[in-house]
Amino acid sequence: MGFLDYQVECTIPKDDGTLVSYVGFRIQHDNARGPMKGGIRYHPEVDPDEVNALAQLMTWKTAVADIPYGGAKGGIGCSPRDLSKSELERLTRVFTQKIHDLIGIHTDVPAPDMGTNAQTMAWILDEYSKFHGHSPAVVTGKPIDLGGSLGREAATGRGVVYATEALLAEYWKAVKGLTFIIQGFGNVGSWVARLIHERGGKVIAVSDVTGAVKNQNGIDIPQLLKHKETTGSLTGFSGGDSLDPSELLVHECDVLVPCALGGVLNRENAAHVKAKFIIEAANHPTDPEADEILSKKGVIILPDIYANAGGVTVSYFEWVQNIQGFMWDEDKVNKELKRYMTQAFHNIKTMCQTHHCNLRMGAFTLGVNRVARATLLRGWEA
């Protein structure tokens, strides 16, 4: 199935009674390997090209992780910050009414993304269930009380750490004793930092939009988390010195983990990167020119399409639990996640050996091959 791009108009009364309209959309890329899967974002600037790319990325990502899904993406062009909770609820319900025939347990399973969260998923589930009966498996990333999975909150960060361990094992190294720099201290970055710290890795610098902090002897991550919770910022932390955020990416370290925005490694700074390993926890943090410069320098890059697949993998576990009507404990979720991430790494590695290519090419080759095989087996390709 090629790209299908649906757009719907969502009109709601605001709290003051005036009517306002927003454009909602859902892009479905491919369903050869199973129902489509992808986030729903609420964001004022919805760039159709970016959303198309993200829908496509989900197709390859689920194939690399070997979970039975295809790719999709959707959202509403709005500023969630400017809407009250009840306005957001009305908007989400109207959007769900308009797309309830496009999504479904075995068709297309949305999840949270920028500007949406577990509460948004709860509203979608409730509205969808009015049409189709109670269907917890129609969305993932739900609150635990409505069939959300334990371990979902930490899943992307935990997957990044399992991926990192699999990569380091190839070089006879472990997390313990290596130095790490983490860009971005949101959901993913803070979990990566916490789990690296627990495993005896030294997190020597961290940054987010509020600033950056460094400590050559390793930052006390639990203390930094407390500091950020109380002050809302990384600045003023007593357990480290402040650092110019632009220097973070080129600071001396063993492993660099970009967990924030795309395109942060580019032709301007790539030549100055001192890390030996880059773990792409963000989507597209390395632009193509930087990729080339870093490869020539011998830097090992673990590609986003694999490194941050922990989130969608645990979303798959949530869906499985909902369909069975049987929930797992957190240990089982984490154990299964480790199994999937480790297996995927070995499959990528095999591709790299067969085709003499780097990890990014290996991962894409693996993903595209799996989708192509499913497409042929279904008899879709003339």
What residue spans in the chain does CATH classification 3.40.50.720 cover?
149-381
Confidence (pLDDT) at 148: 96
Specify the 3-state DSSP secondary structure of 25.
strand
What residue spans in the chain does CATH classification 3.40.50.10860 cover?
4-148
Per-residue pLDDT tens digits of the chain, which is 382 residues long: 667 889 999 999 999 999 999 999 999 999 999 999 999 999 988 777 888 888 999 999 999 999 999 999 999 999 999 999 999 999 999 999 999 999 999 999 999 988 899 999 999 999 999 999 999 999 999 999 999 999 998 999 999 999 999 999 999 999 998 999 999 998 899 999 999 999 999 999 999 888 899 999 999 999 999 999 999 888 888 888 888 888 899 999 999 999 988 889 998 899 999 999 999 999 889 999 999 999 999 999 999 999 999 999 999 999 999 999 999 999 999 999 999 999 999 999 999 999 999 999 999 999 999 999 999 999 987 5
Cα 100 to Cα 94: distance, rounded to the nearest angstrom: 10
Confidence (pLDDT) at 52: 87
* β 255-258/179-183 pair status: parallel
Confidence (pLDDT) at 232: 87
Give me the phi and psi of 310, to 5 degrees please: -60, -35
DSSP state of 256: E
CATH number of 4-148: 3.40.50.10860
* β 202-208/179-183 pair status: parallel
Q: Which residues are catalytic?
A: 73
Confidence (pLDDT) at 1: 60
- Residue 194, C-beta contacts closer than 8 angstroms, at least 6 positions apart: 157, 221, 222, 225
Confidence (pLDDT) at 140: 97
Q: Which whole-number Å values give the CA distances from 305 to 30, 76, 302, 333, in the listed order? A: 16, 25, 9, 21
- In this prediction the pTM is 0.93
Cα 281 to Cα 159: distance, rounded to the nearest angstrom: 9
Q: Which whole-number Å values give the CA distances from 86 to 52, 76, 92, 127, 232, in the listed order? A: 30, 16, 10, 14, 26
Please identify which residue in the block is written with the tokens 């301007």. Answer: 268
Cα 144 to Cα 156: distance, rounded to the nearest angstrom: 17
CATH class of 149-381: alpha beta
Specify the 3-state DSSP secondary structure of 304.
helix
Helix (H) or strand (E) holding 11: strand 4-13
Helix (H) or strand (E) holding 252: none
Specify the 3-state DSSP secondary structure of 115.
coil
The β-bridge partners of 4 are 28
DSSP state of 81: G
Amino acid present at 123: W
The binding site consists of 37, 61, 156, 187, 315
Q: Are 128 and 298 in contact (CB under 8 A)?
A: no
Q: What would the two tokens of residue 253 be?
A: 């370290």
Q: Are 280 and 303 in contact (CB under 8 A)?
A: yes
The binding site for substrate consists of 37, 61, 315
